[in-house]
Amino acid sequence: MTVRAIFILLTLMTTCAPMVGDAASNGPASAQPVRCSSRNSEKATISQIAADPGRYQGHCVAVGGVMQWQFLFENVDGLYLQPPDTLNPSSNGLRIGLDNLSRHFGERYQHVSVFGRVQDCETVRSCVEANAAENEIVMVSGYCHSFNGPYIFVEGLTVRRGPPFERRLDTHGRDDYGDLEPATEDWPHREKVESLAQDFLRALRSKDRERLAGMHFRDVGLDWKDDEAALLSFLLKTANSPFADIRTSRTPPQQIILVQRSQLRAIQQGSANGDEADDYTATVCFCRERSCTGRWPIATFDADNIRERPYACTQVGPYLDEGRWVPHFVTQIGRVGLAEPRVR
C-alpha cells in the first residue's frame, strides 16, 4: 500500500462548510460565505475570541492589537503570560494567531487593526483529514502547522500608531509570567555553566575569533560561513553592539545564569527524566552597567541583545553531534525587541 503525503496550504475556504458563517447576520453557515470586509466584520477583542472561540468561529471580526510574527497580542502581558496549553498559545487569554499575512509577517512589534474570519486549528485539521482520499496523509501548513486554537485568516490589515510595548522587569509574583528564573545555588549544572560562561567571556575579551567560531558553529559541525561572519562582526567589531561594553570593560561584569522555570521545577520536584535532568541549557547574561539587579530578563525573548538593554546574553546547552554531546553557544544578533523601560 502506497501512502502519499500531501501538504495542504491553509486557506480561508476549505471544503468544511460548517466552519464559516456570515458575521453580519450571525446566520447559519454557508458553503459560499461572503468575503470579510470592514463593513461586515463584528468588532471583538482578542481576549473575547480567546475566551470563547466557538462563539466567533466562522465569523468575520475586526480586532485591534499588537502584532509580531504570526501572533496578535491584546497587551504586553500576552507575551509574558505562559499558556496553560503549550500547543495553544491563545490559552493564555491575551493572544490569538494570524494567518494569510504575506508581506506583513515580521519580527517588529506593530500596532495593527485587522479584519478577517475566525477559524480554529483543530477544526481545520479535522476537516482536511476527513476530506483526504484513501491512503493519503495530509498536513496543514500555515499557523496550524505548529499550533492549535483560534486564529484569524486576515483579509485586511492596517498598521497604526500606538505606544510601544515595554519590556517587563518583574514576574509580579506569578509562576506563569515569563519563562526564565535565576539558577538556584544547588542547581546541579551551575558549576559547568559557570565554567562555560567564563570560556565565552575570555574568548570575547581576547577577541579570539577561532574560539568564538568554534563554540557557536564549528565544534558541532555547522559550516554556516555567512552566519559565522555576521556573528563574529557583531561580537567583536560592531560599535553599537551591547557586547562592545563587555569586551572593553576593565572589570569583570556582573553575571547571572538564567534557566527555564519548567526545567527548574522538574528538577526540584524530582519529576525530570534522564534527558531533562542532564540538560544544562541556560541563558547567561553579563551586565553592561554597574548593576543589573532587578533588570535582568524574565523571558527568553528579552535576551535579544538589542543596544538598549543594560545587559548582553548568550545561551549555552548540549548539542548532539555524531553521537556525542558537545557544548554549544547560541548568541542572538540584536535587531528589534520590546522597548526598554526607563529606570526611575
Of the residues 96, 125, 160, the one at which a domain ends = 160
Q: State the pLDDT at residue 46.
A: 98
From residue 314, how far is each of 7, 130, 197, 322, 331 by CA, in Å?
36, 45, 9, 24, 5
Clarify whether residues 109 and 10 are in a common domain: yes
Whether residue 171 contacts residue 341, with contact meaning beta carbons closer than 8 Å, is answered with: no
Other CB atoms closer than 10 Å to residue 80's CB: what's the count?
24
The position carrying cell 568554534 is: 214
Clarify whether residues 294 and 155 are in a common domain: no
C-alpha 8/C-alpha 166 separation (Å) is 38
Cell numbers found for residue 255: 553575571
Establish if 96 belongs to a structural domain.
yes
For the chain, which ranges sit under pLDDT 50?
Answer: 1-15, 17-30
Q: Which three-class secondary structure state does DSSP give residue 149?
A: coil
Residues spanned by the domain of 286:
180-330
Establish if 170 belongs to a structural domain.
no
Clarify whether residues 133 and 250 are in a common domain: no
Establish if 287 belongs to a structural domain.
yes
Q: State the pLDDT at residue 26.
A: 40
Q: Which amino acid is at 271?
A: S
Cell numbers found for residue 77: 502581558
Q: Which amino acid is at 342?
A: R
Establish if 172 belongs to a structural domain.
no
pLDDT digits (tens, 9 = 90+) for 47-78: 999 999 999 999 999 999 999 999 999 999 99
Clarify whether residues 68 and 34 are in a common domain: yes
Helix segments in the chain, DSSP class H: 46-51, 53-56, 77-80, 121-130, 190-205, 209-216, 225-236, 243-248, 261-268, 274-278
Q: State the pLDDT at residue 31.
A: 52
C-alpha 183/C-alpha 172 separation (Å) is 19
Q: State the pLDDT at residue 188.
A: 94
- Supply the DSSP string of 28-43, one letter for each residue: ---SSPPPP-TTTPEE
Of the residues 131, 160, 189, the one at which a domain ends = 160
Clarify whether residues 102 and 185 are in a common domain: no
Clarify whether residues 216 and 300 are in a common domain: yes
Of the residues 160, 195, 219, the one at which a domain ends = 160
Clarify whether residues 202 and 76 are in a common domain: no
Clarify whether residues 184 and 152 are in a common domain: no
Clarify whether residues 197 and 114 are in a common domain: no
Clarify whether residues 37 and 147 are in a common domain: yes
Clarify whether residues 197 and 260 are in a common domain: yes
Whether residue 5 contacts residue 137, with contact meaning beta carbons closer than 8 Å, is answered with: yes
The tally of domains found in the chain comes to 2
Establish if 336 belongs to a structural domain.
no
Establish if 111 belongs to a structural domain.
yes
Clarify whether residues 215 and 298 are in a common domain: yes
- Give the E-state strand segments of the chain in sequence order: 4-8, 42-43, 60-68, 71-73, 95-99, 110-120, 136-140, 150-160, 180-182, 255-260, 282-287, 311-321, 324-330
Establish if 342 belongs to a structural domain.
no
Establish if 343 belongs to a structural domain.
no
